[in-house]
Structure 1
Amino acid sequence: MRIEERAQAPEAGPRIEVYDFGRPATLAREHARSLEMAFETFARQWATQLTDKTRVRAQVGLEHVSLMTYGEYADSLPHTTTLVACALPDAEPSTVVQFPLTAALSWIIQMVGGRPVDAAEERPLTPIEQALIRHLMADALENLTSALGGLFPRGLAVSGIQYSPQFAQLASAGDPVIVARFSLRLAERSVPASIMLPAGPVLDRLSSASPEAPVQNAPGLIRRQIEDTPVELAVRLAAMPVHPADVLGLSVGDVLHLPHAADRPLDLVAGDVPVATAAVGTSGARLACVITSITSSPHADHPEELR
């Protein structure tokens, strides 16, 4: 057998992702539930509005609410879709209402008195069609800010309509955003839709409206969490430096002379940090260690430094 055939691809090591506390990866349970309730209220109001405007019974259901980056949101959308960019007064667009372009064309036909049809063509909207969509979205945005209550400022208005998520550039790719996914059903047709909000202002208002714990209790909570977190302890002999050649030359029966005196206690370590010294003992049929001294901590005389 050739060496190439015996060789195996090295196993991929564990992927380590650095957690950014300034940009949490998920929504807190309380925050997620508050947003779900607000978007469920909006879904009912949006369904009523679409039914009234298009004269076709509409149903809008909330699928889920998630926290992601703007780049991830843009990549999750179709290459061509309707992106209604929205902005607050005197501000850049930062909110998006998204739905399929074919759905927008069908709504326009029904709003001007046409029969319900499934538009198969995807094309940019004409100025008149854009005006109709802006009129349709104006009421939807008012319902959205009303449903969110104090979680989002009022005054949201349509600032433009775009069709390519990759070229919209309404935020930096790494900016955190809150995305609500919906299922829109008009007559017999069901299509996906979504709403994107900037995460910063919403999360700040959520934290102010329903803080999980008083800020002054944060140090105590952190200390309690650290104290309740399990750690592994080990007893360790004094280390002996060797050369790589010595390690590669080891064989069964070799004797290593450790620089650890027989009457010297062992080190009790947590990770690589010494916490105590111990002597070897027994507990029934098991080996045990008897603590002989506690290693002094640099914070032992100044506990206030840990607060």
Structure 2
Amino acid sequence: MSDILSQDEIDRLLQALKSGELSAEEIKREEKKVKVYDFRRPSKFSKEHIRVFDMIHENFARSVSTYLSGRVRTFVSINLASIDQITYEEFIRSLPAPAFIVVFSAPEFAGSAILEMNLELFYTILDLILGGPGIPNVKRPPSEIEISIMRKEIMNILANLAQAWSDVFSFSPTIESIENNPQFVQIAPPSEMVLLVSLFLTIGKTEGFMNVCWPSSLTEPFMDRLSSRNWFKVAKKEQISEKLQKDLLTNLNQMSTVLSAVLGEAILTVREVLELEVGDVIRLKSHKDEDIVVNVQGKPKFLARPGTYKGYRAVRITKIIEPEVEE
């Protein structure tokens, strides 16, 4: 809209002022709002991007909570604490020394990311996995043996992270390196903006944070997928798919099938069939003390013993016949 008024608009304003419909104060121009922009901390992630990160890592927190609860045989609570947009230098400076820092990457990534875990959490999980009480009292950096034991757990945690991301961007994470000193971890320039996802873990009486650091250069190639519209489309498809599966299962459970128990079989020639008379005995291939075959829709499914139950002819299932696999 142009800031220059036409002659007609000026005449109407003057007329409104004369008639008292408008006052001089009401037509004063409102000061334009100026947004401060720090070029040293450029914003790389929009509110929509952060919203999608929030939803992805909420799912990640739930899946890791379930996984770790099974591994350490005690309840593990994991909640998404915060998502902050900071520089890589600020992230590195915020880490304690020593620390447990996992640098991971994937063939689909244009760079590396970081998973960092509080040492108290590290030693608690390790102690519980090895059968201990899970009381951390170690302040030293982890040894090579301890790191080797925990490497498998970290890989499973990263697999849960990849699963949480699978609806937005699929990747196969691998561990590049594990460091104890934050100053040795340089995966991005100090001034590069990163998205820091902080998760708060509670394992027994131990509490601490686990952080995931996503550099902006790594997420840039798939940034266009980080929209809530795409996320809700995927969620809706999953809901439709789950409902369809449930409906199909319900319909299958209500279907009628033909169940037949074959007492025995015999092969006769056409002449022998034509010569059969009342009172003749046909010898079957099976004996009275052998199992008989029970067919479902004409196909053998069970072996059973014939008999009676509450006055009715019946069969008792003795074995399930495994289907033959065609080579």
Q: If the length of structure 2 is used for normalisation, what is the TM-score?
A: 0.54
Q: Aligned pair in 2 of structure 1 residues 92, 202: CA closer, same or farther (>3 Å)?
A: closer
- Structure 1 residue 92 displacement after superposition: 8.7
RMSD: 2.5
Query: For the residues of structure 2 that align with 1:195 and 1:96, how far apart are their CA atoms?
Result: 6
Structure 1 position 120 matched with structure 2 position 137: yes
Structure 1 position 168 matched with structure 2 position 188: no
Structure 1 position 109 matched with structure 2 position 127: yes
Query: For the residues of structure 2 that align with 1:164 and 1:181, how far apart are their CA atoms?
Result: 19
- Structure 1 residue 126 displacement after superposition: 2.4
Determine which of 192, 196, 200 is the counterpart of 1:179: 196
Q: 1:82 matched to which residue of 2? A: 100
CA contact (8 A) 1:25 1:68 kept: no
Determine which of 43, 53, 57 is the counterpart of 1:25: 43
Q: 2:64 matched to which residue of 1? A: 46
2:145 counterpart letter in structure 1:
I
Query: For the residues of structure 1 that align with 2:108 and 2:220, how far apart are their CA atoms?
Result: 22
Determine which of 187, 206, 210 is the counterpart of 2:223: 206
Query: For the residues of structure 1 that align with 2:87 and 2:50, how far apart are their CA atoms?
Result: 16
CA contact (8 A) 2:111 2:217 kept: no
SS at match of 2:80: strand
Query: For the residues of structure 2 that align with 1:34 and 1:80, how far apart are their CA atoms?
Result: 32
Q: Describe how 1:257-296 pairs up with structure 2 within 5 A.
A: none
Number of residue pairs matched? 194
Q: 2:151 matched to which residue of 1? A: 134
SS at match of 2:166: helix
Query: For the residues of structure 2 that align with 1:162 and 1:122, how far apart are their CA atoms?
Result: 16
- Structure 1 residue 125 displacement after superposition: 2.1
Q: 2:82 matched to which residue of 1? A: 64
- Structure 1 residue 46 displacement after superposition: 0.9
1:94 counterpart letter in structure 2:
S
Query: For the residues of structure 1 that align with 2:192 and 2:169, how far apart are their CA atoms?
Result: 17
Q: Describe how 1:181-196 pairs up with structure 2 within 5 A.
A: 181-196=198-213
1:44 counterpart letter in structure 2:
R
1:149 counterpart letter in structure 2:
S
Q: Aligned pair in 2 of structure 1 residues 145, 169: CA closer, same or farther (>3 Å)?
A: same
Query: For the residues of structure 1 that align with 2:200 and 2:168, how far apart are their CA atoms?
Result: 23
Determine which of 143, 148, 155 is the counterpart of 2:172: 155
Query: For the residues of structure 2 that align with 1:174 and 1:61, how far apart are their CA atoms?
Result: 29
Query: For the residues of structure 2 that align with 1:211 and 1:19, how far apart are their CA atoms?
Result: 27
CA contact (8 A) 2:83 2:196 kept: yes
Q: 2:214 matched to which residue of 1? A: 197
Structure 1 position 94 matched with structure 2 position 116: no
- Structure 1 residue 163 displacement after superposition: 1.1
Q: Aligned pair in 2 of structure 1 residues 205, 211: CA closer, same or farther (>3 Å)?
A: farther
Structure number, greater radius of gyration:
2
- Structure 1 residue 167 displacement after superposition: 2.4
1:133 counterpart letter in structure 2:
M
- Structure 1 residue 74 displacement after superposition: 0.7
Amino-acid identity (%): 24
Q: Aligned pair in 2 of structure 1 residues 100, 93: CA closer, same or farther (>3 Å)?
A: farther
SS at match of 2:81: strand
CA contact (8 A) 1:27 1:66 kept: no
CA contact (8 A) 1:93 1:159 kept: no
Q: Aligned pair in 2 of structure 1 residues 89, 120: CA closer, same or farther (>3 Å)?
A: same
CA contact (8 A) 1:177 1:198 kept: yes
- Structure 1 residue 208 displacement after superposition: 4.3
CA contact (8 A) 2:52 2:228 kept: no
